[in-house]
Amino acid sequence: MHRFVIAALVVALAQPVSAIEPQAAVAEAEQFAISNVISTVYHEFGHVFIDQWALPILGREEDAADTITTLLLLQAGTAEADTASRDTVAGYFLSFRLFGTVEESTDFSDEHGLDVQRAYQMACLLVGGGPDRFGDLAKEAGLDADRVETCTAEHELALRSWNAMAAPHLAGEGAESAAVAVVYEEATADYQEIASLLRTRGVLEGVAEAITAQFVLPRALTIRAHICEEENAYYYADIDEISICYEYAQLYRDMLLDPDTAGMAAAE
């Protein structure tokens, strides 16, 4: 797998369930799914900001949303945010290992970068912006000393740019964000457990509350978790709605628990 598969992040995650106590394996997989949903909701909020604030973006919007996600998780500074950051990097690497081999299925025309590229870029910004919290990630991801230096500079530039763009939209006295509604639709039998996990842990509400406490959205927004018949997440600008597919959350759970069949249920 060349250097794309980093030992500490992927080999450990790819252990067979039999190598871990079943209850611990399930708990680890559930946290992995939650972490990746959290970062995905932040990513979709990146698209919300770009749309609702009419932000100037040079380059791919998906790359900008990835950068915003990483900066917001870094700024949160909580254990949950740090776990989400690490699990997201690991998720990109593992996704590339399972589904994204260049020889077979990579779509170079996609609006997103390759998962492995997204993993390295997020790791770089995390290391550059939080060396005390994420210094070990540099070694695990195979970032050498020269690259770490550029990571620090890249983070400084990204943070300066983000702060300048976000400054007019910060929450404060007399500035109140438009409401963000969270809706969990009923799930089919195959996705009842993952839907219940997201609902009982308040995953979507947590991100919505963090965003509206910091920033002012000019238009009301809905975050909807539902059955999509695909593993994905979207921001629909025409209806101001973030869509999180239960199949997407389930995919990340299955990537740890049953990687050989991960994603097959939605495909059927």
Please tell me whether residue 2 adopts helix, strand or coil conformation: helix
Query: How confident is the prediction along the chain (268 residues), in pLDDT tens digits per residue?
Result: 233 334 445 544 445 444 566 888 999 999 999 999 999 999 999 999 999 999 999 889 999 999 999 999 999 999 999 999 999 999 999 988 887 654 445 565 555 668 889 999 999 999 999 999 999 999 888 888 889 999 999 999 999 999 999 999 999 877 889 999 999 999 999 999 999 999 999 999 999 999 999 999 999 999 999 999 999 999 999 999 999 999 999 999 999 998 887 876 554 5
Residue in the structure block whose two tokens are 């969270």: 182
| Residue 233 CA from chain centroid, whole number | 10
Sequence ranges of the domains in the chain: 20-169, 180-267
235 sits in which H/E element: strand 233-236
Give the residue among 46, 44, 149, 37 at the shortest CA–CA distance from 83.
Answer: 37
* Residue 183 bridge partners (DSSP): 224
Residue pair 127/112 in contact by the 8 Å Cβ criterion: no
Give CA–CA dist 63/128, Å, rounded. 17
As to burial, measured by CB atoms within 10 angstroms (0-12 exposed, 13-18 middle, 19+ buried), residue 117 is middle
DSSP H helices, 77-191, are 79-99, 115-129, 131-141, 145-166
In this structure, the strands spanning 221-226 and 180-184 are: parallel
Residue 102 tokens read as 């260049």
The rounded radius of gyration (Å) of the Cα atoms in the chain is: 18
pTM of the model: 0.89
DSSP H helices, 11-78, are 22-52, 61-76
Residue in the structure block whose two tokens are 């990146």: 46
